[in-house]
Amino acid sequence: MARLPIRRYQGEVCVVETPRDLARAQADLLEEDLVGFDTETRPAFTKGVHHLPCLVQVATARAVYLFPLRWQEVFPVLAGMLSASRIVKAGIGFADDLRSLKDVFPFEAVNMFDPGSIARRYGLEHSGLRNLAGIFLRFRIPKGKQTSNWAAAQLSPAQILYAATDAWACRELYLHYRASGMVK
């Protein structure tokens, strides 16, 4: 794994912060049948302290959209995407993410796909995003900004790239699985 090349998402990233950004993201989502999905939560460094998700990342074929959850106008668009049965939402270990996200806004998640569950079905023990990207996509994803402050009013360029890469890699894993016949 250590010899694999490092890859990061290189396409367009839109931090959804204005009505125009939101309309653009919604229009793009309406054209999709597959998105990569992830959330980020402010880390808690005290035992027993948990925070709600701060950011939702959604990767389409054309861009990655970062939805800061401090802006409530994004909730209906995210709820619509999560409940759309025609859209596969590919994300690693999203059960806890979805439970926490329901504490932020109501939705019914359908057509969720966890590449990690398929990997476990094939006997792989290490089914996290970074391991699966190395095994199936043949590249490494750096962990750099994993424990940064996702509740910050302004995300840093490194945070934006980290968040976009995670959602993009989830979508890429699904595409690889589909091309390999692991999913239909």
CB of 52 within 8 A of CB of 104?
Answer: yes
Percent of the chain with pLDDT strictly greater than 90: 73
Contact 167, 37 (CB under 8 A): yes
Give helix 19-30 / helix 75-83 axis angle, nearest 10°: 10
Q: Predicted confidence band at 108 (pLDDT cuts at 50, 70, 90)? A: very high
Predicted pLDDT of residue 145: 56
Residue 146 has pLDDT above 70, yes or no: no
- Beta partners for 37? 58
Give the domains, in start order, of the chain with CATH numbers.
12-178 (3.30.420.10)
- What is the arithmetic mean of pLDDT over 104-120? 94
Interval 58-105: pLDDT, tens: 999 999 999 999 999 999 999 999 999 999 999 998 998 999 999 999
Q: Can you tell me the distance from the alpha carbon of 109 to that of 125, in angstroms, rounded to the nearest whole number?
A: 26
Residue 45: is its pLDDT beyond 80?
no
Per-residue pLDDT, 183: 85
Question: What value does the CA radius of gyration of the chain take, rounded to a whole number of Å?
Answer: 16
Rounded Cα–Cα distance for residues 129 and 115 (Å) = 8
- Taking the CA atoms of residue 179, residue 160, residue 11 and residue 33 in that order, the dihedral angle to the nearest 10 degrees is 40
> 67-71, 141-145, 176-180 — which is least confidently predicted?
141-145
Instruction: Provide the Cα torsion 168, 108, 98, 132; round to 10°.
Output: -40
* Closest-CA residue to 51 (of 101, 106, 108): 101
d(CA 86, CA 30): 10
Mean per-residue pLDDT for 42-54?
Answer: 82
7, with CB counted inside 10 A (0-12, 13-18, 19+), is: middle
Residue 121: its pLDDT value, please? 86
